[in-house]
Amino acid sequence: MGDSPKDKHNPNPDLLQSDKLRKYILECSVFPREAEALKEIRNATASHPLGFMEMHPDAGQLMGLVLNLLNAKKTIEIGVFTGYSLLLTALNIPHHGKIIAMDPDREAYEIGLPSIKKAGVEHKIEFIESPALPILDSLLEDTNNEVSFDFAFVDADKDNYWNYHERLLKLIKIGGIIIYDNTLWGGMVAWPEEEVPAIKRPFREAVLSFNKAISDDCRIEIALASIGDGFTICRRCL
């Protein structure tokens, strides 16, 4: 699923070729260890018309591991939706940790909010109902914010990923991590352009040019992991 033109109508792109393997990974490794509050958000999102936008739980498990390896305390999230990745981050940073989360859609955030409250981690979250760029710019107006964040997760409008990247590189510490989601775009990055549905071409173009730019960026180390819909993990090294 997700890697051939015949799958172009798949609403929830996923790169794994085998449903059985996906089921195995989720049932063996991910769901048994997934926090109850995360399961609740998944269930609450399942009937949402845009529910396919939710983070893939196997990618979430990898992100939790990265947050713990990094001992992340201060983080940024761009693109919250119903809050799966936000709650996952909140559960994997310490009690005094902090997440600045940005999304213009408060209504979607409020779907997951009861589960976030129930998990006892709401105090770690500052949700800002806004597009992310002006918020990042206002953070950068205060020099105390420069080089002060451990981690950022970007899962929003793909055509702004490079704009986010330039700003996040000023905010993240050297050694800090930025993860960009959907960087394999259902496998379409590798399809011949004429086989990509016209409606998806602009997004694919945005992802292709971001992937090229990030590959050329010597300020970071990168790994483009083929998990979920493609997860580009960047470590700031300069």
Closest contact distance (angstroms) between CB of 158 and Ca ion is 9
Residue nearest to Ca ion (CB): 181
How many other C-beta atoms are found inside a 10 Å radius of the C-beta of residue 37?
23
Choosing among Ca ion, ligand SAM, none, which partner's interface includes residue 99 (Cβ < 5 to 8 Å by kind)? none
Residue 129's closest CA among 149, 150, 147, 110?
A: 110
| Candidate ranges 26-34, 61-69, 82-90, 171-179; the one touching ligand SAM (CB under 6 A) | 82-90
122 lies in the site for ligand SAM, by CB under 6 A: no
* CB 181, CB 153: distance < 8 Å: yes
* CB 181, CB 228: distance < 8 Å: yes
Closest contact distance (angstroms) between CB of 194 and ligand SAM is 27
178 lies in the site for ligand SAM, by CB under 6 A: no
| Candidate ranges 2-10, 42-50, 93-101, 180-188; the one touching Ca ion (CB under 5 A) | 180-188
Structure tokens at 222: 């990168």
* CB 164, CB 132: distance < 8 Å: yes
Report in angstroms the alpha-carbon separations of 153 from 4, 88, 194, 232. 28, 11, 31, 10
Choosing among Ca ion, ligand SAM, none, which partner's interface includes residue 132 (Cβ < 5 to 8 Å by kind)? ligand SAM
Closest contact distance (angstroms) between CB of 56 and ligand SAM is 9
Main-chain dihedrals φ then ψ at residue 79, nearest 5 degrees = 100, 90
Q: Which of 3, 14, 58, 103 binds ligand SAM (CB under 6 A)?
A: 103
Instruction: Mark out the alpha helices in the chain (DSSP H runs).
Output: 19-25, 36-46, 57-70, 84-91, 106-118, 132-141, 161-171, 201-215
Closest contact distance (angstroms) between CB of 237 and ligand SAM is 26
Closest contact distance (angstroms) between CB of 7 and ligand SAM is 19
Q: At what angle do helices 161-171 and 201-215 cross, to 10 degrees?
A: 30
Residue 231's closest CA among 105, 55, 87, 94?
A: 55
Residue 20 or residue 79: which is nearer to ligand SAM going by CB? 79
Residue 55 or residue 178: which is nearer to ligand SAM going by CB? 55
Total residues at the site for ligand SAM (CB under 6 A)? 21
102 lies in the site for ligand SAM, by CB under 6 A: yes
